[in-house]
Amino acid sequence: MASYRRERLEELIKRIVADTLLTEVKDPRIGFVTVIRVKLSRDYSVADVFVSVLGGDKDKKMTIHGLESAKLYIQRIIGKEIRLRITPHLKFHLDTSIEEGVAMVNKIENLSKGKPEREGPDDNGDPADGE
């Protein structure tokens, strides 16, 4: 039963954070952000917010800094929307799973088109020699 409650709270916090970033936070450092998931600690005191950021490494760093500076404001919004004994402290984390998935799909497409990967040795440890 507690697991179901935690999942509902995680989804609700995810929605509130995403909506707040979209409509209320106007920090120019925050680029195109997608809230991937939220993971609450056992006692609901900490919410790890995993975000994906479109752009290069510089854009990602700037966005994380912007999110950190908006953290208290977003926590306040969460506290107003959700009546909990303790409003969870937000911790933002960069989630690269989408980028890794896109890279994997590109590799698979290249292999299916017959383009060999030239990143290093093949599976048996020998360099790819085309035989």
Q: By residue range, what is the domain housing residue 76?
A: 2-112
pLDDT tens-digit readout, 107-131:
888 888 876 655 544 444 444 444 4
Is residue 20 a part of any domain in this protein? yes
What pLDDT, on the 0 to 100 scale, is given for residue 15? 97
Is residue 95 a part of any domain in this protein? yes
pLDDT tens-digit readout, 10-20:
999 999 999 99
In the chain, the percentage of residues whose pLDDT exceeds 70 is 85
Look up the pTM and report it: 0.75
Cβ-proximal residues to 108 (8 Å cutoff; 6+ apart), any chain? none
- What CATH code is carried by the domain that includes residue 54? 3.30.300.20
Is residue 120 a part of any domain in this protein? no
Is residue 130 a part of any domain in this protein? no
Is residue 123 a part of any domain in this protein? no
Q: Structural domain tally of the chain? A: 1
Is residue 105 a part of any domain in this protein? yes
